[in-house]
Amino acid sequence: MMSRKSLTYTCAVLAALGLSACNSAESPMGVTKKDLPAAQGTAAAPGAPAPAAQPGTTAPAGTAVASGAAQPGVSRTAKLRFAPIVGAPIAAATPLSQRLSALAKAKGIVLGTAADTDNTHIMKGYFSALPDGNQTTIIYVWDVLDPAGTRLHRIQGQEIVPGNGTDPWSTVPPKVMESIADKAIDGYLKWVSGAKT
């Protein structure tokens, strides 16, 4: 059972996420724990191990153009930019951003910057960490937007990690954030391979 303090915190976080995500008439989050599939745990997607990000890599995701051949199904005309992460502190967003950038490059996704005028898609991630008994639930939503900000696709899920504390983000290890990055890139690739860009 949630304490009054936890319930107040949860409502404040969800309200902040909802307000910061406004870009259409639809509900920006549009997701609750009940709407999500069972937690996937902290392991990477099967068959896709999550190697650690390069220690010297500090540039945010979306700051380079991938080299090499594109993966099958990835349109060569698609160019993806990552918008700033909403809701996660820097300590949690850093391994996520590093993994997004490294995996996108490895998968042949062309990455753009905010200054580029030819981005075809923008991915914006919204995060919340909710204490729940002796564990913390991380809820994430990735919106794939067109350059005008219209949502084209949504990738969402949750992860559960053991532990709780005053700051629920303090219980979230980098491997969990890297796993979320893997799922975001995989979800984007599955969607874009069937989308007209």
pLDDT tens digits along 10-21: 444 444 444 344
Helix H or strand E segment including 126: strand 121-132
Cα 60 to Cα 78: distance, rounded to the nearest angstrom: 20
Residue 57: per-residue pLDDT: 33
Average per-residue pLDDT for the chain: 73
pTM above 0.95, yes or no: no
- Residue 197 in any domain: the answer is no
pLDDT in tens, 114-155: 999 999 999 999 999 999 899 999 999 999 999 999 999 999
| Within-domain flag for 63 | yes
Task: List the single range of 55-59, 96-100, 165-169 with lowest mean pLDDT.
Answer: 55-59
pLDDT of residue 164: 82
Total structural domains in the chain?
1
Nearest to residue 53, comparing CAs of 177, 169, 194, 191? Answer: 177
For residue 178, what is the domain's CATH number? 3.30.160
pLDDT in tens, 49-75: 333 333 333 333 332 333 333 444 454
Residue 26 domain flag: yes
Contact 87, 16 (CB under 8 A): yes
The total of other beta-carbon atoms located within 10 Å of residue 28's CB is: 19
Asked if residue 187 belongs to a domain, the reply is yes
Q: For residue 44, give its domain range.
A: 4-192
